[in-house]
Chains A and B, each alone.
Chain A
Amino acid sequence: MNKAKKGNMARLNRWGYIFLIPFIVVFIIFQLIPLVNTIYNSFFENYRSGLKQIGPNFIGLANYASLFTGGDLIQYFENTMIMWVLGFIPQIVISLLLSAWFTNPSLRLKGQRFFKTVIYLPNLIMTSAFAMLFFTLFADSGPINSMLMQAGILSEPYSFMSHVGSVRGLVAFMNCLMWFGNTTILLMAGMMGISADLYEAAEVDGATPTQIFFKITMPLLRPIFIYVMITSLIGGLQMFDVPQILTNGTGDPMRSSMTLIMYLNKHLYSKNYGMAGALSVMLLILTGVLSFIVFRVTASDQVKKVR
């Protein structure tokens, strides 16, 4: 790059700022103000008792202290991660498998359009509507129980909502069902950027499908794959509506399916911005650390592959 071009670039780079303006302005108004407020509030006693406003009174780190002295935070974190992993593993496996099949030229699957379209559909149903169907299906007197009883697997109805394993399983299942199409679409869109020539060349060279997937698809898919991992992790840590609706907000049995955000939501009932703020700050730190680790792991992986 010569000097003239450099000066030119500096001038052009001003556009970087210009293009950022809409985002920044909207962000400051609609998100930064509430965000700063959240952090600020975490140091205050600030809630409603009925319609009465209590506080804000500055109480330092007392909110954080009471978050940890309860000792429940760890349990809710565990619950969240268990349910996320239970749902995410099948989700990512199915998504990778499907997108690999869809992009594999040697398979030449028919009806791809149909399948690709269908997988995202569950995401279109409102969670609350979805849950209504789940309640009907998994009721003691519902079709799943009667099927299991007719098959002789059960002698009396199994209460899906009264057992730790089944509640967590249902939450994971519903999350997986609602989001695997989303993940597949993200991956496919990433794969579309990969030229078909590459696949054809690889095939001509005699590469196996496994080789094609790991040597061509995955490396080129890496940025989108990182995106999927990180957003899924964030989405997982912020898991809320499915367990909330399925367990009536209780997280039962004995709060074994209570997630971090469900816990946060409990504090919003009394508009307890103090505790909710402290919890959000903790979540922010937690998510940040975990995302950083994911980022690092996948990035170092990349370095290895390139060499």
Chain B
Amino acid sequence: MGKNQYNTSEEPENTTTVHIRRAVAYVVLVLVSIMCLFWFYILFINATRSNGELGRGFTLLPSSYLGENMHNIFTGTIPVVRGMLNSFTVAALSALLSTYFSTMTAYSIQIYDFKGKKAIFAFILAIMMIPTQVTALGFVNLVNGMGLEDNFIPLIVPSIAAPITFFYMKQYMESNLPVSLIEAARIDGATELRIFNTIAVPLMKPAIAVQAIFTFVASWNNYFIPSLVLHKDNMKTLPIQIAQLRSADWLKFDMGQVYAMIAFSIFPVIIVYLILSKNIVGGLTAGGVKE
């Protein structure tokens, strides 16, 4: 529908067209935003309802059980605050390691010229296509074999080799990392590692922020592998704790608590997202250098 607007051959200064296009843009944006926020609204509503009320199905009106649900979560036997800390540790470190080392790997492929580089690049792209489901159970056996149960290492360290993040960094570098800057720094006598850290990484900030968010969120919501690796209560992450609430026996089963817990677990990730997204949505001026 935007197409027709664009095809009008008037000059951009024609304010009527701009007004119409702007109006269309606003309408679409508002609709899209409602689509996006609606789910959070229902999650919040459901978190305010009791188990019995939830059984009655959908409603748009909040109920009065939010305090009670929250109270039950915090006073229950599941250490949710600890769970949040654990989730945060795992997700933050994963995001950090994944973005830093993926940038480094991409930098290696993009900037340097060495034997086997093309083969390595192709190989990494190929790995990207392997469905993780296949290797999941083998991975867990490997972890158990290494004696790394109840340890965050198998959840964090593998993110160093993240082909999809690497591929993005590589693509982003193609149009956003001017070789001239790096050569200039070399002439100034900076070491390669220093150039990478002080010149390449800052230039990659928007890309790093994007992938940091994606990795953080994926790790934050990951259930399957952590559920097989973490067994001690004080090591468990939020998705395992949510699953545990859902596995509760009849006497304790409470959908209101499940929803409250989901709402509680989304909250920090929103904050992290808002902080990191400044680097992405900040405006068009940050990109800077471009030939």
Contacts and interface: CB of A to CB of B under 8 A. Distances in A.
Contacts of B133: 240, 261, 264-265, 268, 276
Question: Size range of the interface on B?
Answer: 35 or more
Contact of A136 (B37, B57, B166, B266): B57
A190 B139 CA distance: 34
Interface of B: 2, 6-7, 9, 11-12, 18, 21-22, 25-26, 28-29, 32-33, 35-37, 39-40, 42-43, 46, 57-58, 101-102, 104-105, 107-109, 111-114, 117, 120, 124-131, 133-139, 142, 154, 157-158, 160-161, 164, 166-168, 171-172, 174-176, 186, 192-193, 196, 206-207, 209-210, 213-214, 217, 221, 223, 239, 242, 262, 266, 269-270, 273-274, 277, 280-281, 284-288, 290
Contacts of B280: 116, 185, 188-189, 192
A210 B129 contact: no
Nearest to A30: B158
Contacts of A136: 42, 57-58
A106 B171 CA distance: 28
Interface stretch (A71-79, A148-156, A159-167, A201-209): A201-209
A258 interface: no
Give the interface SS of chain B, mostly helix, strand, loop or mixed. helix
Contacts of A230: 167
A122 B36 contact: yes
Interface stretch (A7-15, A51-59, A248-256): A7-15
B266 A125 contact: yes
B129 A130 contact: no
Contacts of B42: 133, 136
A284 B113 contact: no
Given A121-B273, A206-B11, A227-B171, 6 more contacts: A13-B114, A15-B112, A19-B108, A107-B21, A107-B22, A195-B288
A85 interface: no
Smallest CB-CB A-B distances: 4 pairs:
A16-B112, A34-B135, A19-B108, A27-B161
Contacts of B154: 30
Nearest to B159: A26
Interface of A: 9, 12-20, 22-24, 26-27, 30-31, 33-35, 37-38, 94, 97-98, 100-101, 103, 105-109, 111-130, 133, 136-137, 139, 141-143, 177, 181-182, 185-186, 188-196, 198, 203, 206-210, 213, 220-224, 226-227, 230-231, 234, 237-238, 240, 261, 264-265, 268, 271, 273, 276-277, 280, 283-284, 287-288, 291
A103 B154 CA distance: 40
Given A97-B28, A126-B262, A287-B129, A30 B139 contact: yes
A22 B37 CA distance: 40
Given A34-B135, A118-B37, A208 B6 contact: yes
Contacts of B214: 182
A52 B39 CA distance: 44
Given A23-B166, A34-B138, A121-B40, A97 B277 contact: no
Contacts of A24: 161
Q: Which of B29, B101, B270 has the most CB of A within 10 A?
A: B29
A284 B130 contact: yes
A210 to B, nearest CB: 4
